Chain A
Amino acid sequence: QKEVEQDPGPLSVPEGAIVSLNCTYSNSAFQYFMWYRQYSRKGPELLMYTYSSGNKEDGRFTAQVDKSSKYISLFIRDSQPSDSATYLCAGAKAAGNKLTFGGGTRVLVKP
């Protein structure tokens, strides 16, 4: 079993819809959680960085962590075609430490 699991998708939504992405993880030592966005033929770029359980909002993006159920989520409001990408979740035991990634979810936002 992988330590971090994601549905590979693709997840197809119309422009303006809310995109809801989820990951589950098995390592209870994870304290830091991140979401990355990766466009085709590019390296991943950091979207959201959270510590422990709770919510974090940044513009159209909201990240949620529920450590009791080992569940992390990313919501994208008012989705745009430019949000079409692969989204990767990741967990780490300590800040700056090695990350364990999920396999990524491909998202398609249709105009």
Chain B
Amino acid sequence: DVKVTQSSRYLVKRTGEKVFLECVQDMDHENMFWYRQDPGLGLRLIYFSYDVKMKEKGDIPEGYSVSREKKERFSLILESASTNQTSMYLCATSRPIYGYTFGSGTRLTVV
């Protein structure tokens, strides 16, 4: 089974801090994605990557950036955390016809 590991389950950060959310997968999948999930808004795509060093903006990229230096690792960066970035962050990988596999999520609180 594909395993997608997110480094932290719960995180509390202060406004203005630079925050790194790490995601690692162990199945050599090309495609990786970052979503955030909020009540009433569902899952919204922040950024995605189809290959190493490649990144594409999703639907809500403002305030975020990403890094993919190695195939197995996709990092989400909050340049200057704000309270409206308090959310559940979900990383996922995919391979054609196999759908997405999600990590367990990181619940980030910005105070």
Docked-complex contact A95 and B42, CB < 8 angstroms: no
Q: Which residue of B lies closest to A104 (CB)?
A: B42
Which residues in A have their C-beta under 8 angstroms from that of B94?
A: 96-97
- For chain B, the bracket of interface size reads 20 to 34
Docked-complex contact B97 and A103, CB < 8 angstroms: no
CB distance from A63 to the nearest CB of B (A): 12
Which residues in B have their C-beta under 8 angstroms from that of A2?
A: 42
Q: Is B52 an interface residue (CB 8 A)?
A: no
Q: How far is the CA of A96 from the CA of B96 in the complex (A)?
A: 4
Q: Is A99 an interface residue (CB 8 A)?
A: yes
Docked-complex contact B43 and A101, CB < 8 angstroms: yes
Interface string of B94-111 (1 = CB under 8 A from A): 111111111111010000
Q: Is B45 an interface residue (CB 8 A)?
A: yes
Q: Is B33 an interface residue (CB 8 A)?
A: yes
Docked-complex contact B99 and A42, CB < 8 angstroms: no
